[in-house]
Structure 1
Amino acid sequence: MSLSMTGYGQSAVDYQGYHVSIEVKSVNHRYCEVVFRMPREWSRFEDSLRRAVQTRIGRGRVDVYINKENNGESPNAVLNHAMVKAYLQAAEELKPYGIQGELTVRDMLSLPDVLVSPGGLPMDEAQQQEWHDALLQGLNKALDGLVQMRSKEGAFLVKDIEERLGRLESLHGEMAELAPEVPEEYRKRLRQRIESLDDGSLAVDEHIFGMEVALFAERCNVEEELIRLRSHLEQCRELLNQKGPVGRKLDFLIQEMNREVNTIGSKANHLTLVNRVVEMKAELEKIREQAANVE
């Protein structure tokens, strides 16, 4: 079943004294574009998390928001021992230049990056993997909600498009019945016009008359266009029941149907057929608007 490209999902993870909230939003996009907004210390996980999103989402722009808050179980700030040692080492290296004085606690605490959040400390491989797994678990849970919403909305889109395809098929049937009658109606109108102008001095050449009707019948023949249009309608129904991204294929078929309908309108030279063409173009435009949101 086709999915919509619009959806929303959220989740939360409590880990190592932090409450991590994850929101995932998706909207229409030609390709699959994933944008992350999260704390800088987790940037190392971005590529892996992006691949996790791309395995679940085939098409659309996906915005992922990851925020963390201290839940009171861990300190808001801790000493960055590596930076403290680096500052002390630098102070020792300045003494040979005749610079006097010692660093006080106040001086040290005022220096950049001496106090950092626990998440800002360097992590070993094991700690990185633990945080990565926690974030991935929360992301997948949020993606579950996103996919569920996209699936639900996709079902409504498919239902609406199928109903409109039914209307197009009905119009197609009417056009297929009308098309063979067009040359005969033209023949009758042409005969009536000649008779209305004939004052007894005109000699109607039946051979020329027949050639004129035959040429008109050839120019207004839309049988090939109707066959291709029927094929496109059938392909649209098949696409709507396929799994995976079908939106771009659907958009292509709608363009092709518009082309066939325009050709029929230009060749028909028949009021009722032209009216059916106008109705069909209106339905195709509504389908195009709906299909723009199909993954």
Structure 2
Amino acid sequence: MAIESMTGFARAAGTAGLHAWAWEIRSVNARGLDVRVRVPSGFEALAEAARKRLGGAFSRGTLHVNLSINSDARPAKPRINEAVLAGLLDSVARLPASDSIRPASFDALLGIRGVVEIADEDEDVLALLEAPLLAGLDAVVLGLKEARSAEGRALESVLTGHLASIARLADEAEQHPGRTVEAIRARLATQVQALLEASPALDPQRLHQEAALLAVKADIREEIDRLHAHVAALRALFDQGGPIGRKLDFLAQEFGRESSTLCAKAGDAGLSRIGLELRTVVDQMREQVQNVE
């Protein structure tokens, strides 16, 4: 199973009767799943259907979903709600006569909300469009799935390259002559000798003991072993595929921690160069990992 990106775009469009519709989804990366749906008034049921379908298809990402509907029908016509108007006339007729109150006119009654309604040519547009809109929703969800999969394949290629560079640099650090305990001890011995020449009163035996302890602490054997272990774990995740973004992010942080420690321990110019290059590659990988579902 391949990995998927959290970024992508998909569109599905069609017509039904005199109506043209279009679904669009834009997906960007996020810590969790956030589905934001916009539909025309009266189509709220389709918004809920979109949330359910997208929630079942994806586990991470911010999804901006938009449904647009355009109609080529003739302009809407006004319609008098005769039942409401009759009720108003009946109420007015029961009012006591008064010289200070003018009789209600039709234009005043027609201005009351609910008396005049705007009727579309289609008695029930939702009933007409529901089936094709749901089919279009399925199509646009599938399209987004394919777009994110294609982006995921490209991401995997980039991340595999970064991983190969990390493995190579870990091997270079392991084989570098400056990382051996002997080399570290020799460097510290030179520093101890310089201190003794500058300050003859210092205890030579104590200084050599401290130098030996520092030599052991400066060894990067553990960092190299952990780097190799993280490389193997990351390759296993690539083979697993699916929504592995959070695990990749954790491993990328671990790579960053080991590369920083290696740089801190490196007392050799060659090892420092390897450590800095390693940190650069890890930072580049961490940026790309943020887009993986």
In structure 1, what is the equivalent of residue 22 of structure 2?
21
Report the TM-score, using the length of structure 1 for normalisation.
0.81
- Deviation string for 1:4-29 (max 9, x for gaps)? 11111111132243111111111121
CA contact (8 A) 1:70 1:76 kept: no
3-state SS of 1:153 partner: helix
- Deviation string for 1:177-200 (max 9, x for gaps)? 23784321233345556778999x
In structure 2, what is the equivalent of residue 153 of structure 1?
151
Specify which of 110, 114, 117 is matched with residue 117 of structure 2: 114
- Deviation string for 1:104-135 (max 9, x for gaps)? 7x97499566114357x6x6xxx867644332
CA contact (8 A) 2:189 2:211 kept: no
Residue 101 (structure 1) shift: 4.9
Residue 226 (structure 1) shift: 1.9
Residue 38 (structure 1) shift: 1.4
CA contact (8 A) 1:23 1:65 kept: yes
In structure 2, what is the equivalent of residue 6 of structure 1?
7
Distance 1:69 1:194 in 2: 83
CA contact (8 A) 1:108 1:114 kept: no
In structure 1, what is the equivalent of residue 67 of structure 2?
66
In structure 1, what is the equivalent of residue 141 of structure 2?
143
Report the TM-score, using the length of structure 2 for normalisation.
0.82
Distance 2:211 2:136 in 1: 72
Equivalent positions of 1:39-50 (< 5 A) are 39-50=40-51
CA contact (8 A) 1:84 1:108 kept: no
In structure 1, what is the equivalent of residue 76 of structure 2?
77
In structure 2, what is the equivalent of residue 266 of structure 1?
264
CA contact (8 A) 1:179 1:222 kept: no
Distance 1:44 1:198 in 2: 84
In structure 1, what is the equivalent of residue 103 of structure 2?
100
Percent identity at matched positions?
26
- Counterpart residue identity of residue 148, structure 1: E
Distance 2:228 2:86 in 1: 81
- Counterpart residue identity of residue 231, structure 2: L
Which structure 2 residue ranges, 5 or more long, are not aligned?
none
Change (3 A) 1:137 1:194: closer
Change (3 A) 1:234 1:87: farther
Change (3 A) 1:33 1:118: farther
In structure 1, what is the equivalent of residue 170 of structure 2?
172
CA contact (8 A) 1:183 1:213 kept: no
Change (3 A) 1:191 1:292: closer
Distance 1:213 1:254 in 2: 34
Specify which of 182, 197, 216 is matched with residue 218 of structure 1: 216
Distance 1:197 1:208 in 2: 12
Distance 1:229 1:116 in 2: 69
Residue 244 (structure 1) shift: 2.6
CA contact (8 A) 1:4 1:157 kept: yes
Residue 93 (structure 1) shift: 2.0
Equivalent positions of 1:216-295 (< 5 A) are 216-295=214-293
Distance 1:110 1:55 in 2: 46
3-state SS of 1:29 partner: coil
Give the total of aligned pairs.
282
CA contact (8 A) 1:29 1:59 kept: yes
Could you say what the CA RMSD is over the residues aligned between the two structures, in angstroms?
3.2
